[in-house]
Structure formats: structure tokens, C-alpha cells
Chains A and B, each alone.
Chain A
């Protein structure tokens, strides 16, 4: 098995999670790479939504570096604006949301607003919800990418920006007035999580080769449930890595970054 970087592992796992003939609403960076890889391999019928307004472009002039980038509009089937594409999600046309963030809690709620101190005087202010809040609310399934670190996998968020299963109560999302079924997968380079159906808590589905559930637990503040059918994460083949490195992100904008 060839060596791969953490971001290559995340992108490859993201690609595996996406089914063919679905629509994925992607943010900048690894989600685009994951979706491009899926299109090049098992999911040629996968359509992409970019929030500035494009539906199902053909990314043949390079990886978009911004969701409003000209490259994200290339040969699209439909191009309007933010209202139109987010209304596609409200109406049920988007199967997957692909989001990131600064913190995640056991119920798949995500913080991308601030950390430390208070809303009015934040220790560290982040960019804000952006599209993620609407995507997590109304795409059918939410996929979250997060670096596996204790400071990110927390019991309680400093701020709940993007809705997951809330407090885990069965009617939380209905009471919230949102339409999608909620968090589906959490992808890190060492573990793939799903959610337990009854408790709505994060559930360890797969670990990277050589890792144990105990080692994963050490990097998470809350108690991780472990699936009885725990699997090993599949690793990218040489050909997968070639696609990721030479076709998806040849400049290494995202794949060559280092995890701090």
C-alpha cells in the first residue's frame, strides 16, 4: 500500500461515502476533491452543486479554488444564484451536504462561529455559518470533515452554528423546522464515524489500519460508541492516488497541507 497524506485519506474516504447518481452540495477544498475523485471512479453520475449558483458543472479547466470561481461554473447545466441552489436543497434535490468546521459534538452539531469567551467578545472569531448552516439543515444527509483532535471533538460546542441532531432527542430536527435527515458521516484521516440510530450519538464505523478504537477515543473528548461491525478503513490504491494528485489537486492546494 503506497503512503498517503492525511488529506488524501480524507478525500478518498469522502469519495467512497458518495453514491453514484446523487447530488452533492460541496464547499471549497477537500469536498470538491472527494466529489471529483468519486466522479472519476465509482460515481460518474454524481452531480455537484456550488453555492454561488452552479448545478452539475464539468470541472474540466481545473479544480475550483472558490465556490464562486469561474471553474466551478464550467459547462454547468443550470446557473443562477444562491437563492436558487439553496432552494434546490429545501425542495429535496440535494442528497449530500459536505461541510467542515472548528468543533463537533457527539450529536454531529458543528461550530464555525467562534471559540472562547462570548458571542459579543469572541476569543477567536471564525468566518461564520456561510452555506454550511443551510446545507446541514436541508440537504438530505450531512457529511462532516474534521481533523481528529481533542480540541475539535468536544462534549459541548462553544456555539452551535450548523444543526446536527441537537440534544439527541428524536424530534429535535422537526422542532427546529429543518428538512434533511441530519448527520450521516464524520470523516477524519484515522476514523470514519456514523451515528447510532437510537441515541443519535457518534458511532465509530471504521478505523485506519494499525489504529485501535482506544487510540481514537484518546483523541475525542466525549465517549465514542463503537460499532459491533467495526471495519478497517480502505486505503487508496496507486491509481486513486494518481487521480487525487495529478487530476484533482495537481497544485497540492489542499492535499499537500500538513495537519498541525
Chain B
């Protein structure tokens, strides 16, 4: 069915026909709720403006279940929901599907937990565009998972994944995009080439992506979950509107009066937010515009432990990281308390004092 229409990409690369048939021959399947199921969940929600604040522990206990699709917000090292990911690792979850455009530390932290504690946390599949650390290097744990066929991957571009969340945010089943065509992603991912019903031209469609739970870190929010984001929005508004439920951490809680004074600044409305946690440094060691820059040394420290495992199979440094920084901490603040004060001061300074509107 997938090849009724296609570009001329077959046989340009060395990708084997047998593999294409195996991967693309699977019948289409939603990797999270279907559009209809997602709408039903939303319709059945209470819509009142209520205080959404809850502890991170209770939020994860309530919303993170085995077998769900987790949409990870942020982008590479930017406004990544590290505090929420730590709590998910503490509590454990199985058969997860992850969906994101580009991520570094959150995806690697979950991958490392799966490698070290497979009965406690594991990932079944990942729909993504990119997984790595940019300047800091490749993602060793992705490389390990992929080489050992421990997860199923479904590849799109950064726009492809963003458009898939956007389609879900619009309540659609799919969205046409101008990319993927003519690449091997066209042959393997769950999108499909069609002829435009209007011009007869080849047009690529990607399926919407509806996560069960979105994990989002924002600059500020009021107690009802109206969220402000400064700096790049990444794909956070789209992921939040696509997911059937969202756990949101905010650098700071601001007044509803401020939200109502500047309603244009609300990037995620309260209706999409189910659990809200005020968590300063919630994206640490990632960057949160207006508050802090990323902590390259800390990311390197975790990556070095991951790389040592990939190269030698030695799990000791990696285990030590998880024991010291996640499992021996009751909360994310316990983890932050272990960070050297000068490191946190330095990343605050490196932010450059970007102006944000929080009053």
C-alpha cells in the first residue's frame, strides 16, 4: 500500500529492498492514542480553572503508565524536561514509546536507565529526528541501543516530527510536508507519498503524533497552567496541544493577573496542562533562556560515563551517576543541592541576562 506512489528514491542508496519490505510492509499503526481516542480523552476532561500544582512525585505516579507514548519537549539541550525525566527514572516505567524531534540528555538518561535497570525502566520504540549532543558529541547510549537492536526507531526530519505534533495539535490524522520525499526516510518511516488531489504533484504525508503524556519545561506559568516561554519555543506548544495529558515544570510561578494582562504571551493554555510543578533549574544541565545556560561540564561528565560503557561495557561509572544523581535523591532539589554552587552561578551568568516578561 505504501508504494502506490513514490519518488525515484529506490536504489539510489545501498539500502536493501528486503529491509524496506520488512520495515515498511508493516500495517500502519498509531504509536500512541489514535486521533479519535485523543479527542475523547480531552472531551471528557474537567475544564475549570483550577490550581494544577502537585508534587513531581505525585504527577509522575498519576500519569506515567507502562506502555504509553511520552512526548519529550525542548530541543537538544534547550528547555529539556530533565527534572521530570529524573522522577520517571526513579519510579520506573515499561514498554515506553518516546517521541521528540531532537534530544540529548533526556533521551540518553532514559536509555541509560534501560541499560542498567531493564526490569525497572525500558523503551520499546522511538519516533524521532535526531538524538545527540551537538558540540559535545554523538550519543553513546543511542549507538548502543541501535547496534544491539534494543529499540525500534522511526526516523523523520526535525520539521517532520514538529509537523506531526502540529497535526495532532490541530486534531488531524496527518499533514502534508515538503520534505522526506527522495530520501530513504520516505521508504522506511510511517509517512506516505500521495499525488496531490489538486495538482497531481507528489506530496508527502506524515501521520500526526499524539503522545499520551507530554513533558514540558517552561519559563513561567500561573497556577492554572497558562504557560509563558521565552527564547526558542522549540516544538513545545505543539507537543503540549498534541498530548492527551501534560506534566509541566516551570522555572517560576507567576500571577494569573499577569497572564491576563498579556494574554498574547501565553504559549500553552491552561486547558492542556494537567500537572504543574514549580521547579527552578528544571531543565538543568540544559539551558533555560532568561534563567541559565547549559552546564557543559556536567553533560560531559554523564556522557563520558556513557561513552566508557559503550566502548568497554564497564557499567561502574554510569551506575555511579544514576545512584548519586538520581536514585539517592528524593527530589530534583536534592540533586541540585549536590551541584557545586560556582557551576550554577556560572551558568546563570552565561545566560547573558536575557530579558523576559514575568511581572
Q: Bin chain B's interface residue count.
A: 35 or more
Does the CB pair A130–B102 fall under 8 Å?
A: yes
Question: In the complex, which of the residues A119, A167, A171, A175 contacts B15, with contact meaning CB atoms closer than 8 Å?
Answer: A119
Tell me the residues in window 95-110 of chain B with beta carbons closer than 8 Å to chain A beta carbons.
101-102
When distances are taken between beta carbons in the complex, the residues of chain B under 8 Å from A111 are 13
Tell me if A67 is interfacial: C-beta within 8 Å of chain B: yes
Interface on chain A toward B: helix, strand, loop, or mixed SS? Answer: loop
Does the CB pair B8–A124 fall under 8 Å?
A: no
Does the CB pair A121–B147 fall under 8 Å?
A: yes
Does the CB pair A159–B131 fall under 8 Å?
A: no
Does the CB pair B185–A175 fall under 8 Å?
A: no
Tell me the residues in window 140-166 of chain B with beta carbons closer than 8 Å to chain A beta carbons.
142-143, 146-147, 149, 152, 155-160, 162-163, 166
The CB with the most chain B CB atoms within 10 A, among A84, A159, A166, A177, is that of A177
Question: In the complex, which of the residues A54, A114, A156 contacts B232, with contact meaning CB atoms closer than 8 Å?
Answer: A54
When distances are taken between beta carbons in the complex, the residues of chain B under 8 Å from A250 are none
The CB with the most chain A CB atoms within 10 A, among B16, B102, B138, B182, is that of B182
Chain A minimum-CB-distance residue to B6:
A175
> Known contacts A28-B135, A169-B8: does B232 contact A50 (CB below 8 Å)?
yes
Does the CB pair B134–A119 fall under 8 Å?
A: no
B158 nearest CB across to chain A (Å):
4
B187 nearest CB across to chain A (Å):
9
Question: In the complex, which of the residues A61, A74, A157, A175 contacts B7, with contact meaning CB atoms closer than 8 Å?
Answer: A175
Tell me if A128 is interfacial: C-beta within 8 Å of chain B: yes
Which B residues contact A (CB, under 8 angstroms)?
Answer: 7-9, 11-16, 19, 22-23, 74-79, 101-102, 128-132, 134-135, 138-139, 142-143, 146-147, 149, 152, 155-160, 162-163, 166, 177-186, 188, 193, 201-204, 231-238, 287, 289-290, 293-294, 296, 350-352, 354
Which A residues contact B (CB, under 8 angstroms)?
Answer: 28-29, 50-54, 61, 65-74, 79-84, 86, 90, 105, 107, 109, 111, 113-114, 118-134, 137-138, 156-163, 166-167, 169, 171-179, 253-254
